[in-house]
């Protein structure tokens, strides 16, 4: 089944769903940590570019996580 979303967007949304039961700040931090630890750099770059282009269809938790990834560690 395909929803027409790019794979990196679909995956970011699926990961966000897994952390949706948490406080939003904690959930976004955990999504960002997961992406940082496990995502390949090209996939992260594609996701950042997608967000920069408007980020429509991104789960709100994923959108916050992406902004956290932009901040220095």
Question: What pLDDT sits at residue 72?
Answer: 80
pLDDT attached to residue 2:
55
What is the rounded distance in angstroms from the CA atom of residue 4 to the CA atom of residue 68?
A: 26
Q: Which residue has the tokens 């950042």?
A: 48
Neighbours of 2 (CB within 10 A): 6
**What's the pLDDT at 1?**
42
Per-residue b/e over 24-56, b at no fewer than 16 CB within 10 Å? eeebbbbbbebbeeebeeebbebbbebbeeebe
pLDDT tens for each residue of 8-51:
999 999 999 999 999 999 999 999 999 999 999 999 999 999 99
pLDDT tens for each residue of 60-73: 999 999 999 999 86
Q: What is this structure's pTM? A: 0.90
């Amino acid at each position: 089944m395909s929803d027409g979303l790019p794979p990196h967007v679909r995956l970011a949304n699926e990961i966000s769903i897994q952390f949706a039961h948490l406080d939003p700040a904690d959930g976004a931090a955990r999504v960002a940590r997961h992406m940082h630890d496990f995502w390949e750099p090209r996939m992260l770059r594609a996701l950042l570019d997608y967000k920069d282009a408007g980020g429509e269809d991104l789960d709100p938790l994923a959108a916050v996580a992406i902004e956290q990834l932009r901040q220095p560690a």
